[in-house]
Chain A
Amino acid sequence: MRPVARCRRLPGEGDVLITYAIKRFIMMLATLFVVASMTFFLLAAVPGDALTERTARLPEDVAARIYERYGLDKPVFERYLITMNGILHGDFGESIVHQGQTIPKVLAEKGPVSAQLGIQQVIVGVGVGLILGVIAQLRHGTWIDYLTITVSILLVSVPTMVFALLIQQVFAGNLGLFPVIGWDAGDLSYSVLPTLAGSFAYIASYARLAKASLADVTGQDYVLAAEARGLSSRQVVVRHMLRNAAIPVVTQLPMTVAMCLTGSFFIESIFSIPGVGQYYVQAVSDRDVTMVMGFTVIIAALYIVTIFVTDILYHIVDPRIRLATGSASE
């Protein structure tokens, strides 16, 4: 493959991009609709509901009244229409388990916590991961390379939960360096262990990604050419190799950030951090349909929008990538 030196703007390309964007946007809405519908019907198909336990000992007519109050007595399809109508108007409804609780209230209270923790994890994880990956590739074939890759395979294979419990025991329990659990936005000592535990997975995947991308560009014509021009190896790496190798990393990043914002259930629950992840999983186990639907749709929307934006940016940033319409290269 020969690198494209310069992008020539082809006639009508802007229109293609707009058409593409519109198409993707419609697809995006359709995907969201499917996700919401599937979530609803899957939840409805699971036996039992949020009121099963609560009404178990009540006389039948009283239980029936409670079901009526929460609208759970209605046929599935009717409930589906009501739910979807609500979602279209931005109203996810009220929690069945925690009276008076709504999605916006929970997000306002717990969102910032999950976001802070998530961003800290990404900064540490991606930062360390990239550095390790680059070092491994530059020292390709040496013990440093093998060590880095072995460690990252280990980090990615061992479940986050195990790591979290392990570092909790060692650093908080045995050594007493950090609090075992809890959260205080103003006191960073609470977030050291959860940040570390959550960053392992990022370290592992970004180290491998950085190494692989760098390996791809190593030996490319332009790298050889740069070396032939007598540039120092440092210049070759920084100006030519890293810049090109960064593309896969950059495109991966928005997704990572989107994911980190929604919180990590395991980390949040092990360290008793009042984040969205912890609440979401509790809602699932409580069969709190309204809350589960709300969170699922919001998380799905976040992912889908991120993918959409990434795709569009990707195209603008790297014109080598042609849209699969066939018309762009006429």
Chain B
Amino acid sequence: MAIYNERGCVSRRAFISGALSVGALSALALSGCGGSKQVASGSASDANAKLDSKQELNLDYTDLQTLDVNDIRNSNEFLVLSQVQEGLFRTFTKDGKDDVQNAGCESYDVSDDKLTYTFHLRKNSWSDGQPVVAQDYVDSLLRLVNPDNGFSYSYMAADIVGAQDYMDGKGSADAVAVKAVDDYTLEYKIVAPIPFFTAKLANVCFFPVRKDLVDKYGKDMANDYTKQVYNGPFVISDRVLDNSLTLKPNDKYWDAKNVKLTKVTYTVVAEEATKSQLLSSKQLDAVKATTEYTTKWQKEADAGKLVGVERPDVLVDYLSFNMHTGGPSGLMNNEKVRLALSLAIDRDDFNKAIFSGLYKPAYGLVPDGIKSGDKVFRDVTDEPLKAVEKKYKDKKAVVALFKEGLKEVTGSDDPKAVTFTILGQVTSTQDKNRLEWFQQEFENVLGVKVNINSQSESASFVSERNANNYDFYVMGWMGDFSDPVTFMDCWFTTSGYAKFMGGYSNADFDKDYDSLQTMSDEDERLQTYQRMEKNLVADHAGMAPLVYGVKYVFNQTYVKDLSLPQFGTDFEVSRTFISGK
């Protein structure tokens, strides 16, 4: 789970997979976008394509804060570290879907009780020639969960026996259930038979580390690429701080023969206009579009000059209601009021007015593409709010519901006497438009007054939020791995994320959440998730979903086999090649 980019707009630090967000989907100030949408799996794969003599790929990035896999923080670090280091798995895309392949491991066994995972490691070497052994994975995990290190992604390891206690300062490293059975056999024991443990282990934070070098170089390893060793398809061959980073193939890599690129260059490109120039002049080979240039590039893709790819992004935007105090209006603890607010939102109009229709209106919590067992959750689950909306087709019914709730709290049913406060961080016109859109929508539909509490800084936003000076605000949540739980586990009563989620608390939801801890049957889990989503979104309106994210990537036509995994890195380039530039 991860809340993302607090700045929520075109920031230099790019998209952040796993940072706080208020407002969520990035600033897109488009006018009348549309155009055809090509759904593809990444760039075209052509087994017979002839390789160009020059196999070089150019991408943009923002510089890394750290080269330390355990300390990974932002999407830019996933982008690079996933290519120079390797864990148990590597994710490619095939026919528009993630294709997770064994990488650091050749195979693995799961015990009958589904609590013990044994990985049989592949023979691979670090770039200094040392073998990659099971102990390197053990050292990595113990370092990740060591509370003295305070690594951001340590929570990902909470399923491993003893890890949570150690992180909480209650247990010891010895009690963490990870073991190197021999050099090439690695074993983890988990606390509950969760079906998504391997999906979690694919995260960069679990990648092996070389303890001898960590001890020798200490923090210099986090910043000096020459003091690092690499076990992935590439090694870092040059880095200019805050400017550019160059990769070359790792000749010690086990699958080196399938790595065709001879050079990958990441460059900091500050301006979108410049990015567009670079794309036009073929000096940039692929971009993830997050701005108004999406429309321009889509047109070029329609004209065959670029390849445009659209994939569901594993994130959802929603209105978070203040159930801690009921908000300045005092109404937010009333379910009818919350549901009326949720139903008053015209999601299509919101998507068109604010995002030029680039995203997808959301009537549930879990976005497209998230799997529950072997099923895609959204494919087998109707969005719960749609059914409710049918009952309240007439806006008068929504107003009646609102008045009913209002009367329960205040004894009066006059919406004119109600003033709501929407909190938001405003750093762009689009942020401002978004707040004003809600103001108008609620004033028009419900006849209430809406005040805008606008903050220009993320820190001041946080302090207003912590002081509960809001009735609702727009929040974003990005999944960390493919299982609905990544979206569920911030809504139970004692969740550490309650402060971001308005403090939703519901006994049924909590009971279902607890039952998940020991549930391994996939159908049962799916039904539980479905119940929980309905509970949160429809039955008790603990939040109001707005839009699901959509990822737009544009690449040059000569870039082949570029993978766009849903989680971790935006671009997996280890099988990519250039043909026909």
B223 engages A98 (CB within 8 Å): yes
A182-202 vs B, CB cutoff 8 Å, 1 = contact: the mask equals: 110000000000000000000
B10-22 vs A, CB cutoff 8 Å, 1 = contact: the mask equals: 0011001011100
Which stretch, A72-80, A85-93, A277-285, touches the partner chain B?
A: A277-285
With A47-B463, A101-B223 as known contacts, state yes or no: A109 contacts B241, CB within 8 Å: yes
B281 engages A279 (CB within 8 Å): no
- Is B580 close to A, CB under 8 A? no
B65 engages A269 (CB within 8 Å): no
A173 engages B281 (CB within 8 Å): yes
> What residues on B are CB-neighbors of A58 within 8 Å?
150, 152, 154
Which stretch, A164-172, A219-227, A304-312, touches the partner chain B?
A: A164-172
Place the interface of chain A in its size category. Answer: 35 or more
- Is A52 close to B, CB under 8 A? yes
Which stretch, A62-70, A144-152, A251-259, A313-321, touches the partner chain B?
A: A62-70
A61-B166 Cα distance, complex, nearest whole Å: 13
A180 engages B150 (CB within 8 Å): no
A53 engages B270 (CB within 8 Å): no
> What residues on B are CB-neighbors of A101 within 8 Å?
223, 241
Name the contact of A272 in the complex, choosing from B168, B241, B267, B458 (C-beta under 8 A).
B267
> What residues on A are CB-neighbors of B496 within 8 Å?
57, 59
Name the contact of A53 in the complex, choosing from B20, B241, B278 (C-beta under 8 A).
B20
A109-B66 Cα distance, complex, nearest whole Å: 18
> What residues on B are CB-neighbors of A71 within 8 Å?
none
A100-B220 Cα distance, complex, nearest whole Å: 6
A180 engages B274 (CB within 8 Å): yes
> What residues on A are CB-neighbors of B173 within 8 Å?
none
- Is B224 close to A, CB under 8 A? yes
B271 engages A269 (CB within 8 Å): yes
> What residues on B are CB-neighbors of A324 within 8 Å?
none
A286-B459 Cα distance, complex, nearest whole Å: 12
A48 engages B459 (CB within 8 Å): yes
Smallest Cβ distance from B378 to chain A, in angstroms?
A: 26
With A66-B150, A279-B241, A282-B12 as known contacts, state yes or no: A97 contacts B277, CB within 8 Å: no
B268 engages A65 (CB within 8 Å): no
B346-363 vs A, CB cutoff 8 Å, 1 = contact: the mask equals: 000000000000000000
Smallest Cβ distance from A80 to chain B, in angstroms?
A: 20
Place the interface of chain B in its size category. Answer: 35 or more
Smallest Cβ distance from B139 to chain A, in angstroms?
A: 19
- Is A54 close to B, CB under 8 A? yes
A47-B460 Cα distance, complex, nearest whole Å: 6
Name the contact of A98 in the complex, choosing from B20, B65, B168, B270 (C-beta under 8 A).
B65
A172 engages B458 (CB within 8 Å): no
> What residues on A are CB-neighbors of B20 within 8 Å?
53, 56
- Is A14 close to B, CB under 8 A? no
Report A96-110 residues with CB < 8 Å from chain B CB. Answer: 97-101, 106, 109-110
> What residues on B are CB-neighbors of A173 within 8 Å?
277, 280-281
- Is A274 close to B, CB under 8 A? yes
Smallest Cβ distance from A183 to chain B, in angstroms?
A: 8
> What residues on B are CB-neighbors of A172 within 8 Å?
277, 281
B168 engages A181 (CB within 8 Å): no
B241 engages A106 (CB within 8 Å): yes
- Is B269 close to A, CB under 8 A? yes
> What residues on A are CB-neighbors of B155 within 8 Å?
57
With A66-B150, A279-B241 as known contacts, state yes or no: A56 contacts B459, CB within 8 Å: no
A274 engages B241 (CB within 8 Å): yes
A59-B494 Cα distance, complex, nearest whole Å: 13
Smallest Cβ distance from A79 to chain B, in angstroms?
A: 17
- Is B6 close to A, CB under 8 A? yes
With A46-B459, A47-B463, A57-B18 as known contacts, state yes or no: A165 contacts B274, CB within 8 Å: yes
Name the contact of A100 in the complex, choosing from B224, B280, B460 (C-beta under 8 A).
B224
A52 engages B280 (CB within 8 Å): no
> What residues on A are CB-neighbors of B497 within 8 Å?
57
> What residues on A are CB-neighbors of B457 within 8 Å?
46-48
A48 engages B278 (CB within 8 Å): no
With A62-B147, A278-B243 as known contacts, state yes or no: A100 contacts B219, CB within 8 Å: yes
- Is A176 close to B, CB under 8 A? yes
> What residues on A are CB-neighbors of B268 within 8 Å?
269, 272, 278
Smallest Cβ distance from B296 to chain A, in angstroms?
A: 13
> What residues on B are CB-neighbors of A99 within 8 Å?
66, 219-220, 222-223
B244 engages A272 (CB within 8 Å): yes
A47 engages B152 (CB within 8 Å): no
In the complex, the chain B residue whose C-beta lies closest to that of A285 is B12
> What residues on B are CB-neighbors of A106 within 8 Å?
241
A101-B220 Cα distance, complex, nearest whole Å: 9
> What residues on B are CB-neighbors of A61 within 8 Å?
147, 169
- Is B73 close to A, CB under 8 A? yes
With A56-B19, A62-B150, A172-B277 as known contacts, state yes or no: A181 contacts B169, CB within 8 Å: no
A107-B3 Cα distance, complex, nearest whole Å: 35
In the complex, the chain A residue whose C-beta lies closest to that of B278 is A180
> What residues on B are CB-neighbors of A272 within 8 Å?
243-244, 267-270, 274
B277 engages A100 (CB within 8 Å): no
> What residues on A are CB-neighbors of B18 within 8 Å?
57
A181 engages B274 (CB within 8 Å): yes
- Is B103 close to A, CB under 8 A? no
> What residues on A are CB-neighbors of B99 within 8 Å?
none
- Is A55 close to B, CB under 8 A? yes
A183-B458 Cα distance, complex, nearest whole Å: 34
> What residues on B are CB-neighbors of A179 within 8 Å?
283
- Is B462 close to A, CB under 8 A? yes
A62-B278 Cα distance, complex, nearest whole Å: 43
B270 engages A269 (CB within 8 Å): yes
Report B217-255 residues with CB < 8 Å from chain A CB. Answer: 219-220, 222-224, 240-244
B459 engages A180 (CB within 8 Å): no
- Is A242 close to B, CB under 8 A? no
> What residues on A are CB-neighbors of B63 within 8 Å?
282
A165-B220 Cα distance, complex, nearest whole Å: 37
Smallest Cβ distance from B126 to chain A, in angstroms?
A: 21
In the complex, the chain B residue whose C-beta lies closest to that of A265 is B270
Name the contact of A169 in the complex, choosing from B223, B224, B273, B463 (C-beta under 8 A).
B273
> What residues on A are CB-neighbors of B278 within 8 Å?
180-181
In the complex, the chain B residue whose C-beta lies closest to that of A67 is B150
A179-B283 Cα distance, complex, nearest whole Å: 9
With A106-B241, A173-B281, A176-B281 as known contacts, state yes or no: A59 contacts B167, CB within 8 Å: yes
A231-244 vs B, CB cutoff 8 Å, 1 = contact: the mask equals: 00000000000000
- Is A270 close to B, CB under 8 A? yes
> What residues on A are CB-neighbors of B12 within 8 Å?
282, 285
B150 engages A274 (CB within 8 Å): no
A183-B243 Cα distance, complex, nearest whole Å: 10
**Interface CB pairs A-B, < 8 A, 6:** A47-B459, A47-B460, A165-B273, A270-B271, A270-B274, A272-B274
- Give 8 new A-B contacts, CB below 8 A, not counting A47-B457, A56-B19: A53-B20, A58-B154, A65-B150, A66-B150, A99-B222, A99-B223, A173-B277, A270-B274
Which 5 residue pairs across A and B have the least CB separation, nearest first?
A48-B459, A47-B459, A274-B243, A269-B270, A173-B277
